[in-house]
Chain A
Amino acid sequence: MEWVLVIEFHLDTRSGVSPYRQIVDQVRRALRLGLLNEGDQLPTIKEVVGQLAINPNTVLKAYKELEHTGLVAPRPGVGTFVTATLRDGSLAAHGPLRRELVRWLAKARRAGLDEESIEALFRDAFRAGAEQDIA
């Protein structure tokens, strides 16, 4: 059987986000970006802890939460497999949108904005847009 590493986790110990939460978020992000598809196998708990040196219960907890939200399902003796995606039909639009974003970022930097200002600007606009959608 071929062994393919579909996704590799990383841990940011300084982010203040608990490790299990980070794993859940990374799986969701991978699903959203189309890196993980239905039928793909998540790394085994042994593989994850062998790479990250964290408690297996942490990974188990993360996988259980993903299972609870219906995104993955365990197959006893084999592993944990993706059963649903978070992808919307917008994956095709990701490419051009990303390129536009990169261009905008370059523009912002040329205008003299530092990273903090760019982030503040983005968050502000994002929130304003979200409120508008709700209204």
Chain B
Amino acid sequence: MSAVLQADGLGKRYRRRWALTDCTLRIPSGRVVGLVGPNGAGKSTLLNLAVGLLTPTRGRIDVLDAPPALGPAELARVGFMAQETPTYSGLSVADHLRMGARLNPGWDRKLAEDRIAQLGLDPAQRAGKLSAGQRAQLALTVAVAKRPELLILDEPVASLDPLARRQFLQGLMEVVAEQGVTVVLSSHLIADLERVCDHLIVLIASRVRLAGDVDQLLATHHLLTGPRRDPERLQAGQQVVSASHTDRQSTLLVRTDEPILDPAWTVEPVGLEDLVLAYMSPEPTGRGGLTGVPR
């Protein structure tokens, strides 16, 4: 399957701080990709680079086999929803659709109007008077109605209440089911991503720590509990992601392709949220190195 986004050694620096470092990624098409990481990790920077709102300091990034925002044709293939959902507060919902129609040659007017009607938005209502959830839905409609091949959403549900969040994701998934568009969305709410994403990228402190299909990740990560043991004495081929110990017991989160044969361990599957959190903890222990629990 071809890649919708390819980054090679991508880096972005603002004055003295590197927001993104040595980022190498390959995002396959036809997926819903979750980009997760703490604040300041570089998620927004990566997504803004992908749509051409920022230019790289180092390395390169290609979207749909072309540099981002190269020209009108490339712009038409990518839909974007920026952080905090900027909309023109003085313009009405209908005005936003008119804008979309005039600025996008591929605009599907029926799709846009149907979606607005289905959402129950009043076309004459000014965008500034809409609730956060409604604004997010409006911005999604504008991004989606131009029929892009790739949708990039920067923290689309961050400031929405649970109901609005659910409704947004429902609408987004309908669009994916209908148009087959590839979606990349960033969030720091892993529970939301867990429902909708089948590919995950974990970005921490401006670096990519983990990337892969969710099924694959869940299949290769295991939670091992057993008598207290030094992680170095595990089988080869097993990478310890995180470890915690008490006097008597060790709990390890391990990444491996092979089955765990040692009978001393109780092997359990790991949930996605726990998996990501393990990678997010201050120093993921490689092989060697104990994260002890102080008495």
Contact = CB atoms under 8 A, between A and B. Distances in A.
Q: Is there a direct interface between A and B, measured as CB atoms under 8 Å apart in the complex?
A: yes
Interface of A: 13, 19, 44-46, 49-59
Chain B at the A interface: SS class: helix
A22 to B, nearest CB: 12
B174 A50 contact: yes
Interface residues of B, number: 18
B32 interface: yes
A91 B118 CA distance: 40
Interface string B176-190: 111000000000000
B166 A56 contact: no
A49 B198 contact: no
A100 to B, nearest CB: 38
Nearest to B195: A54
Contacts of B171: 50
26 contacts: A13-B194, A19-B195, A44-B177, A46-B174, A46-B177, A49-B176, A50-B173, A50-B177, A51-B170, A52-B195, A53-B169, A53-B170, A53-B195, A53-B196, A54-B195, A55-B173, A55-B195, A55-B196, A55-B197, A55-B198, A56-B173, A56-B176, A56-B177, A57-B32, A57-B198, A58-B198
> 3 closest pairs, A vs B, by CB?
A49-B173, A53-B169, A56-B177
B207 to A, nearest CB: 26
Given A13-B194, A49-B176, 4 more contacts: A52-B170, A53-B173, A54-B195, A55-B198
Interface of B: 31-32, 166, 169-174, 176-178, 191, 194-198
A135 to B, nearest CB: 31
Contacts of A56: 173, 176-177
A49 B174 contact: yes
B32 A50 contact: no
Nearest to B30: A57
A45 B177 CA distance: 7
A22 B183 CA distance: 24
B175 to A, nearest CB: 9
Nearest to B191: A13
A16 to B, nearest CB: 8
A56 B197 CA distance: 10
A78 to B, nearest CB: 15
Contacts of B191: 13
Contacts of A52: 170, 195
A51 B169 CA distance: 10
Contacts of A51: 170
A46 B179 CA distance: 10
A49 B170 contact: yes
Interface centre among B31, B169, B173, B197 (most CB of A within 10 A): B173
A46 B175 CA distance: 8
A55 B178 CA distance: 12
Interface centre among A13, A49, A54, A59 (most CB of B within 10 A): A49
Nearest to A54: B195
Given A45-B177, A55-B32, A56-B177, A50 B170 contact: yes
B226 to A, nearest CB: 21
A123 B264 CA distance: 29
Contacts of A50: 170-171, 173-174, 177
Contacts of A59: 177
A13 B170 CA distance: 16
Nearest to A14: B271
A50 B171 CA distance: 6
Nearest to B174: A50
A19 B174 CA distance: 17
Contact of B166 (A13, A44, A53, A58): A53
